[in-house]
Copies of this chain bind each other. A is one copy, B any other.
Amino acid sequence: MKLRGAHALLFATLVFGASAVAAGQRAVGPGSPIYGVKLPDGYRDWKLISVAQENGKNNDIRAILGNPAAVEAFRKGTRPFPDGAVIVRLAWRYQSSPRNDAVFPAPQSFVAGAPTNVQVSVKDSKRYAASGGWGYGQFEAGLPNPDPAIARACFTCHQKLGKLEGGADFVFTAWSE
């Protein structure tokens, strides 16, 4: 089994290796539909880019983290993002905190509840040329959502930002100092 696993890994490395390395993808495991984006190893330890909060159907509070290539591009304002940049958006239920509100002067405190999903954007201008240079994946409990419609919807939405509108390169998040 170990040898077979090693052979499979070798095969995967030979076939997908160059592109995967270029995109900073060291994770193993299943990838997202369409893009084959994987959950990057150690992404939870990456540096913070910014935070946001979504009402409506999402009803979440979120943190956007980046690998070193992404963080450097944000800090220097480099656009388009270089190949290898990876942005990870973590989200949790947006929920009132009665514990905090008991201490604060008024009911006003909202915190992160249970995790909802993690969305990953990987910049690889060649591999993902058809989607503006970005590959996308949504992960729940560490596994990619297998619905191709979910993966497809990422670019449908990011595309509306335009390639270079405000230097966006299809990215919603701006750096927060």
Contact = CB atoms under 8 A, between A and B. Distances in A.
A56 to B, nearest CB: 4
A45 B55 CA distance: 28
A36 interface: no
Oligomeric state, in number of copies? Answer: 2
20 contacts: A48-B63, A50-B112, A51-B51, A51-B62, A51-B111, A51-B112, A52-B97, A52-B109, A52-B110, A52-B111, A52-B112, A53-B61, A53-B94, A53-B110, A53-B111, A55-B108, A55-B110, A100-B172, A103-B172, A104-B157
Given A48-B63, A115-B176, A157 B54 contact: no
Interface of A: 44-45, 47-48, 50-58, 61-63, 65, 90, 92, 94, 97, 99-100, 102-106, 108-112, 115, 157, 160-161, 166, 172-174, 176-177
Contacts of A61: 51-53, 61
A109 B45 contact: no
Nearest to A112: B176
Contacts of A45: 47
A53 B56 contact: no
Contacts of A53: 53, 61, 94, 109-111
